[in-house]
Amino acid sequence: MQIEYDVPIPMSDGTILRANVFRPIGDGEFPVLMSYGPYGKDLPFQDAYPRQFDAMVKAHPEIAVGTTGKHQVWELADPERWVPLGYALVRVDARGSGRSPGFIDSFASQETRDFYECIEWGGTQPWSNGKVGLSGISYYAINQWAVAALQPPHLAAICPWEGMVDWYRDANYHGGIPSSFFPRLYGVQIETVQHGLGTRGQKNERLGVLVSGDVDLGEDELGARRADVAQELRQHPFIDSYWRDRSADLSKVHVPVLSAGNWGGQALHLRGNIAGFVESASEQKWLEVHGEAHWTLYYSDYGVDLQRRFFDYFLKDEGDWSHEQPPVSLNIRHPDETFELRAEQEWPIARTDWTTYYLDAADNALSLDPRPQPSEITYEPFGPGVTLLTPAFEEATEITGPVAAKLFVSSESEDTDLFLVLHLIDPDGAEVLFEGATEPRHPLSQGWLRASHRALDSARSLPYQPVHPHDAAVPLVPGETYELDVEIWPTCIVVPPGCRIALSVLGRDFDHGREGLPTAYGVEMRGSGVNVHDDPVARSADVYNRPVTLRSGGAHPSYLLLPVVPPA
């Protein structure tokens, strides 16, 4: 393949961004697969993330077949696998990152406008056929939705793989509860490849290239050239223009979409992929949901074939994707972490039997029958909480779709945080955990709500998915009972006979209690991944660890709503 490094892409304000271009040998016009992001276009995957790379290749050895891996980088397509398929790959270092100068302001409108201009550049090069597709994982997926809403003329299709669409709800304020995820990632994965680190930064020894540019800037100057993410997030606890500027307007996304999510992407990489599919205005859109680790299937034969057929159709006018691919493709999960690929026509699945399990606080039970007698249980939020269980299932039962809960609670404080955890319990009473997108072992699903954010958006809320505007906080009156509707993120499991479903109500992040697991961004992987809510100021014990009482039965019919899916 032909490779051009550090190709200049001029922005309208005079800034020059840098891109690497990989394309087939010889003359010709080729469809373009583009990515734009801050992780360093010249930073090799296996050097920067050796543990993840080795695990990925062990799980799917075909990833290493037919490629040297020399040009493989974190969360982006491998050109040695895609250029032979007749594509030109363009990787752009985002403004202020890698070898592109400028100010880093993640997901802000300037980044989106830069991406727009890069797409138009790629669509008008002499080696381009005029059709640009977008490909990439996580950050490289999130910004696809945003730039698609700007409707660049040369954008022909997007494939956001495990991203998000709502920067507030999907990543930083789960149910209004602040997460420390992005500030941690920012310090580890973005600041470390900021343009201007020069010789103090990382080097691609294979290419002899300084990942963060050839200029050495001082620490003060580097700090002045990037947003203070942690401070900004603290300054915007409610949805305002800051969040709207960084979240996609799905009503303006009309381009063909293949949205790929992960059942294990709790608190980061699932809700947004489904919302993008459901809410985008595109008439040509498809949803796929899978399991395994966050970065793995994108590179596998399964993932490459799925993406290739999609892009071949919309960028090359080849194949019959629109007729052969069902609108929804779900990898149905079993407790042994095997999957069965199944076609569906919509999300949620139309034949879903929405099943209500009523809470019985007296017996720590979940029952199909409403509890006529009132009962209650009081717990310490930072302690073990309350866990309620269904009876054992008598036959194999599939649960696939969004989950919701309505809880009646009171607190001795002016506010409280609800952390809801959905579990699968085996016949011996042990929890079955699953491989997550960014967490080795996680529960079936999780949901969150800060009680002072309990107001509902009546126009958007559905029985199975409450939506909160998060535009103000209304404190609780200590001791008064409140009705709280909690969104629990979608899940999928075939429950075997003899197993049970459990719901835990906590005031802290889920912790499975197992030891010896790895860390990421300084966080030990204990069931909630890196998406923890541990800010001691935003979650002070004086407010959020005061006793909470959960009520059920009678005038307080707390319940869990599960999406039971009968066979087609």
Q: How far does CA 467 lie from the centroid of its chain? A: 18
Question: Which class in CATH covers the domain with range 2-161+177-236+295-325?
Answer: alpha beta
pLDDT at 279: 98
pLDDT at 399: 98
pLDDT at 517: 78
Triad 388, 394, 398: Cα angle to 5°: 75
Domain 353-565 has CATH 1.25.40.10: no
Angle between helix 271-279 and 139-148 (nearest 10): 20
In 3D space, the residue among 464, 448, 561, 437 whose CA is nearest the CA of residue 506 turns out to be 448
What are the tokens at 361?
């606080």
The helix (run of H) or strand (run of E) holding residue 48 is helix 45-48
DSSP per-residue letters across 114-178: HHHHHHHHHHTSTTEEEEEEEEEETHHHHHHHHHHTT--TTEEEEEEES--S-TIIIIIEETTEE
**Mean pLDDT score, 155-166:** 97
Alpha-carbon distance 408 to 551, whole Å? 5
346: pLDDT confidence band, cut at 50, 70 and 90? very high
Alpha-carbon distance 144 to 160, whole Å? 6
Cis peptide before 348 (omega within 30 of 0): yes
In 3D space, the residue among 253, 243, 240, 258 whose CA is nearest the CA of residue 279 turns out to be 253
End-to-end Cα, the chain, rounded Å: 47
515 contacts: CB under 8 Å, gap ≥ 6: none
Domains 2-161+177-236+295-325 and 353-565 fall in the same CATH topology? no
- Around 352, how many Cα atoms within 13 Å sit in the side-chain half-sphere? 21
Cβ atoms of residues 419 and 446 within 8 Å: yes
Match 């010789």 to its residue by tokens. Answer: 199
- For all residues of the chain together, what is the average pLDDT? 96
pLDDT digits (tens, 9 = 90+) for 316-328: 999 999 999 999 9
Question: Residue 400 to residues 153, 303, 367, 563: CA-CA distances in angstroms?
Answer: 37, 22, 19, 6
**Mean pLDDT score, 531-541:** 94
295: pLDDT confidence band, cut at 50, 70 and 90? confident
Cβ atoms of residues 423 and 431 within 8 Å: yes
What are the tokens at 55?
């695990």
pLDDT at 270: 96
Q: Is a pLDDT exceeding 90 seen at residue 149?
A: yes
Q: Is a pLDDT exceeding 90 seen at residue 529?
A: no
**Mean pLDDT score, 114-121:** 98
Alpha-carbon distance 298 to 321, whole Å? 18
pLDDT digits (tens, 9 = 90+) for 347-406: 999 999 999 999 999 999 999 999 999 999 999 999 999 999 999 999 999 999 999 999
pLDDT at 66: 92
**Mean pLDDT score, 409-417:** 98
Q: Is a pLDDT exceeding 80 seen at residue 516?
A: no
Alpha-carbon distance 503 to 420, whole Å? 7
pLDDT at 107: 97
Percent of the chain with pLDDT over 70: 100
pLDDT digits (tens, 9 = 90+) for 40-52: 999 999 999 998 9
pLDDT at 518: 83
The helix (run of H) or strand (run of E) holding residue 561 is strand 559-565
Count the residues in the chain. 568
Alpha-carbon distance 121 to 126, whole Å? 10
**Backbone torsion region of residue 566, taken as left when φ is above 0, otherwise alpha when ψ lies between -120 and 50, otherwise beta:** beta
Pairing relationship of beta strands 88-93 and 16-23 according to DSSP bridges = antiparallel
192 contacts: CB under 8 Å, gap ≥ 6: 201, 202
Helix (H, G, I), strand (E, B) or coil at 293: coil
514: pLDDT confidence band, cut at 50, 70 and 90? confident
Pairing relationship of beta strands 519-520 and 16-23 according to DSSP bridges = unpaired
Comparing 1-10, 48-57, 256-265, which segment has the lowest mean pLDDT? 48-57
What are the tokens at 236?
């915007």
Number of CB atoms found within 10 A of residue 301's CB: 13
pLDDT at 520: 86
Question: Residue 422 to residues 347, 510, 527: CA-CA distances in angstroms?
Answer: 20, 10, 12
Match 């990942």 to its residue by tokens. Answer: 211
160: pLDDT confidence band, cut at 50, 70 and 90? very high
Q: Is a pLDDT exceeding 90 seen at residue 460?
A: yes
Q: What residues does each domain of the chain span?
A: 2-161+177-236+295-325, 353-565
